[in-house]
Amino acid sequence: MNLQPIEQPADEPAWTHDALSPWVWVACLMALVAILAEATVVGPMILAWTRSAPPAAVAAAPAPLAVPDDPMLGWQSGFLVMIYEGPELNRPIKLMRRNGPLRFPLNSEMGPDIPVENMSLRISARLRLPQTGEYRFWIFSDDGARLWVDGNQVFSVWPSPTRPGEMIGPIALEAGTVPFVLDVSNTVGPGWIGLEMEGPGFPRRYLQGSDFIPEPAAGSGAP
């Protein structure tokens, strides 16, 4: 069998070389500039690709709750809890102190006058840090939570629910005591709050009342 080559019709060229529009070249150049703007360039080498994002808004640390100037409240550990009506710290209802673990339900066990939903609370004290180093926190909250440590906001999912056991950190902290404020929001049904910490000389566990000292009363002259 003799195979005959198929001839290309004379009026149908195998390749076409149409001239590109100047606007096509401009669009290509703009795309190249945009791509290079997303890259970290050192000399002729592209080392890493980065994608810039607008900085997230960080709320300033709120003023801590201070122990009322009452000689009957001369306690040396624990934290204060202010209960609010509404999920956005709308109206203060009751100030309580707690010397147990930072792990408790947000329900009527906190008191007969405490709402079980559509409420929020603020936990405030000074956190004891045994050593200088990096610390991590694990938050368990229903619904939202915000956390400030040493004056810096380190976590905020507010007022929407957090993911159970969400890790925060590592955070570099100095040994001693630092301001600590934790906000919790609950909209529907009984809520829950728990906070674990891990760091140098501090194995991972739920924070206890003994890990805190109360803020001094305003005008008491205490440091």
Query: pLDDT tens track of the chain, all 223 residues?
Result: 444 443 434 443 333 334 445 554 555 566 555 544 444 333 333 333 333 333 345 567 776 665 554 443 456 788 999 999 998 999 998 888 888 899 988 876 777 778 878 889 999 999 999 999 999 999 998 888 999 999 999 998 887 776 777 888 899 999 999 999 999 998 887 788 999 999 998 999 999 999 999 875 443 333 3
pTM confidence score? 0.66
Bridge pairing between strands 119-129 and 202-206: unpaired
- Quick one: which of 100, 32, 11, 59 has its CA closest to 183? 59
- Quick one: which of 98, 92, 95, 117 has its CA closest to 106? 117
Strand residues in the chain grouped as ranges (E): 39-42, 45-49, 79-85, 91-98, 103-106, 119-129, 133-142, 145-149, 152-157, 166-173, 176-186, 191-199, 202-206, 212-213
Instruction: Specify the pLDDT at position 114.
Output: 81
What pairs with residue 172 in β-bridges?
Answer: 134
Give φ, ψ of 157 to 5 degrees.
Answer: -130, 100
Instruction: Specify the pLDDT at position 217.
Output: 45
> Do the Cβ atoms of 97 and 75 come closer than 8 Å?
yes
Domain map (residue ranges) of the chain: 18-51, 71-213
> Do the Cβ atoms of 66 and 49 come closer than 8 Å?
no
Q: Which amino acid is at 49?
A: W
Q: What is the CATH number of domain 71-213?
A: 2.60.120.1560
Structure-token pair, residue 31: 């795309």
Instruction: Specify the pLDDT at position 132.
Output: 97
Q: Which residue has the tokens 């001839």?
A: 7
Q: How many helices (H) and strands (E) does the chain have?
A: 1, 14
Radius of gyration of the chain, Cα coordinates, nearest whole angstrom:
30
Instruction: Specify the pLDDT at position 29.
Output: 63
Cα 177 to the center of its chain, rounded Å? 21
